[in-house]
């Protein structure tokens, strides 16, 4: 069977077979003139292009369009852009896991012969990746107490350093990084300052506002919030010459699956509500201890609640300027500090954080 030729005299074309028609019919996207209120899941590996030139253009630069979902996908692009907006960044990308985000951030700036200063108290997988992966390729790693700014300054001055890495609140020890001071030290010594903000999330802290050059988060944790996805996000500022948010697509780490990116985008709708509830619940546990000076020292982040009620669920308490980043972080000294049990701990590997007591009301 053939189809009629056109009016210009072209020969008739063979009719399409059942298999071809079925494939084309099943792959035809509907025309949608109205914008959906939720980001669609583009569950596809490849995208069509009108011609070879257009395909080559988008394959060479994923920012120009879409060709292959390992390079870029509209659903994951939307998640990266959303995170960049929340983090106050120039651009962002969504990756397959938090460790993929760590790898993408480090691989974007490190090369053989470079040096990294990183925290002693840090996520174990991050420390392992720095030492066992980047270390094998000639990158020097020095671990320091990130809460001791003098020790950090000494480490940075010891040799040319490419990168200072820190965590807003260390996983799992919760030691808090003074982003403003660390960023200033890193930049003074010609190094980048990258921050892992997983344990704080952008709802409580935005490291880029305190001088960090790049921020990563494991979206598996508070960003996702429902134990149903594995993902990571990276956002950077123009100060990073070749961030993972730009550059050759082949150099990027594993991208997030569209389904995971969609779930994370959905979680963003409730992020503020969930964070406020987390904060209020944590404060309700802390409050009874706060009334006893002998129990005031605990290895938890010092949260400078300044409202009369000490309620962390107020906008003033949960803004970045009132929470993690802007508050001066207590620094380690040689003077021992009391522990909850009455024992005294000198400046060693254990860090005890003091929670500020709230003034009692007149009533």
Cβ-contact 5, 13 below 8 angstroms: yes
Residue 108 domain-assigned (yes or no): yes
Name the residue with tokens 């671990």: 143
CATH of the domain at 253: 3.40.640.10
pLDDT of residue 333: 35
Cβ-contact 196, 123 below 8 angstroms: yes
Choice among 42, 123, 192, 222 that is catalytic: 123
Number of domains comprising the chain: 2
Residue 27 domain-assigned (yes or no): no
Q: Is the dihedral of CA 234, 236, 242, 247 positive or negative?
A: positive
Residue 161 domain-assigned (yes or no): yes
Q: The tokens of 175 are what?
A: 């030691």
Residue 362 domain-assigned (yes or no): no
Would you call 28 a catalytic residue per the annotation?
Answer: no
Note whether 185 and 247 are same-domain residues: yes
pLDDT of residue 318: 31
- Spatial CA neighbour of 215 closest among 225, 204, 226: 204
Q: Give the structural domain span for 321.
A: 271-354
Note whether 76 and 159 are same-domain residues: yes
- Spatial CA neighbour of 109 closest among 197, 236, 249: 236
CB-facing half-sphere around the CA of 256: CA atoms within 13 A: 35
Choice among 61, 70, 295, 332 that is catalytic: 70
Note whether 326 and 235 are same-domain residues: no
Choice among 133, 148, 221, 299 that is catalytic: 221
Q: Is the dihedral of CA 37, 43, 48, 49 positive or negative?
A: positive
CA-angle at 171, arms to 336 and 200, nearest 5°: 100
pLDDT of residue 352: 27
Note whether 153 and 260 are same-domain residues: yes
Cβ-contact 140, 162 below 8 angstroms: no
Helix ranges (H only) for the chain are 18-26, 52-60, 74-87, 98-109, 124-128, 149-158, 179-188, 258-268, 271-290, 315-318
Note whether 190 and 250 are same-domain residues: yes
- Spatial CA neighbour of 208 closest among 240, 175, 174, 176: 240
pLDDT of residue 122: 94
pLDDT digits (tens, 9 = 90+) for 276-332: 888 888 778 777 766 554 444 444 554 443 333 444 433 333 333 333 333 333 333
- Spatial CA neighbour of 130 closest among 168, 161, 158, 99: 99
pTM for this entry: 0.75
Taking the C-alpha atoms of residue 296 and residue 163, their distance in angstroms, rounded to an integer, is 35
Cβ-contact 129, 113 below 8 angstroms: no
Would you call 221 a catalytic residue per the annotation?
Answer: yes
Cβ-contact 163, 110 below 8 angstroms: yes
Would you call 70 a catalytic residue per the annotation?
Answer: yes
Residue 295 domain-assigned (yes or no): yes
Taking the C-alpha atoms of residue 144 and residue 29, their distance in angstroms, rounded to an integer, is 54
Cβ-contact 280, 313 below 8 angstroms: yes
Note whether 70 and 128 are same-domain residues: yes
pLDDT of residue 296: 42
Residue 172 domain-assigned (yes or no): yes
User: From the first residue on, what is the mean pLDDT of each consecutive set of 10 residues in the chain (363 residues)?
Assistant: 59 82 83 85 89 86 80 88 92 91 93 97 96 96 96 98 96 91 97 96 93 94 83 89 58 70 78 85 75 47 41 37 35 35 32 32 39
Q: Which domain-ending residue is among 268, 283, 299?
A: 268
Taking the C-alpha atoms of residue 94 and residue 71, their distance in angstroms, rounded to an integer, is 11
Choice among 114, 145, 178, 196 that is catalytic: 196
Note whether 210 and 293 are same-domain residues: no
Would you call 6 a catalytic residue per the annotation?
Answer: no
Name the residue with tokens 């050759």: 248
pLDDT of residue 6: 57
Please provide residue 85's backbone torsions phi and psi, each rounded to the nearest 5 degrees: -65, -40
SS3 116: strand
């Amino acid at each position: 069977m053939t189809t009629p030729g056109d009016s210009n005299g072209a020969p008739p074309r063979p009719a399409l077979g059942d298999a071809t028609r079925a494939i084309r019919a099943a792959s035809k996207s509907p025309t949608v003139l109205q914008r959906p209120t939720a980001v669609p899941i583009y569950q596809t590996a490849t995208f069509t292009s009108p011609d070879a030139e257009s395909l080559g253009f988008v394959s060479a630069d994923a920012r120009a369009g879409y060709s292959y979902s390992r390079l870029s996908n509209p659903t994951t692009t939307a998640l990266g852009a959303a995170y960049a907006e929340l983090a106050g960044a120039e651009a962002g990308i969504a990756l397959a896991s938090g460790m993929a985000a760590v790898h993408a951030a480090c691989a974007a700036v490190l090369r053989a012969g470079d040096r990294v200063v990183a925290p002693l108290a840090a996520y174990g997988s991050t420390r392992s990746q720095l030492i066992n992966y980047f270390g094998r390729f000639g990158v020097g790693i020095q671990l320091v107490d990130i809460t001791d700014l003098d020790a950090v300054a000494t480490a940075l001055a010891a040799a040319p350093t490419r990168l200072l890495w820190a965590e807003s609140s260390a996983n799992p020890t919760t030691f808090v990084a003074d982003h403003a001071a660390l960023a200033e030290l890193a930049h003074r010594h010609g190094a980048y300052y990258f921050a892992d903000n997983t344990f704080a999330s952008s709802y409580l802290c935005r490291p880029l506002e305190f001088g960090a050059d790049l921020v990563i988060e494991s979206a598996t944790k508070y960003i996702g919030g429902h134990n149903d996805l594995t993902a990571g996000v990276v956002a950077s500022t123009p100060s990073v010459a070749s961030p993972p948010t730009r550059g050759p697509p082949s150099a990027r780490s594993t991208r997030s699956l569209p389904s995971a990116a969609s779930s994370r985008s959905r979680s963003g709708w409730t992020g503020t509500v969930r964070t406020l509830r987390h904060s209020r619940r944590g404060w309700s546990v802390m409050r009874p201890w706060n009334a006893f000076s002998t129990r005031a020292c605990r290895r938890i982040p010092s949260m400078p609640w300044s409202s009369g009620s000490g309620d962390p669920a107020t906008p003033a308490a949960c803004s970045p300027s009132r929470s993690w980043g802007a508050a001066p972080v207590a620094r380690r000294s040689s003077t021992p500090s009391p522990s909850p049990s009455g024992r005294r701990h000198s400046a060693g590997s254990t860090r005890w954080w003091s929670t500020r007591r709230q003034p009692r009301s007149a009533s």
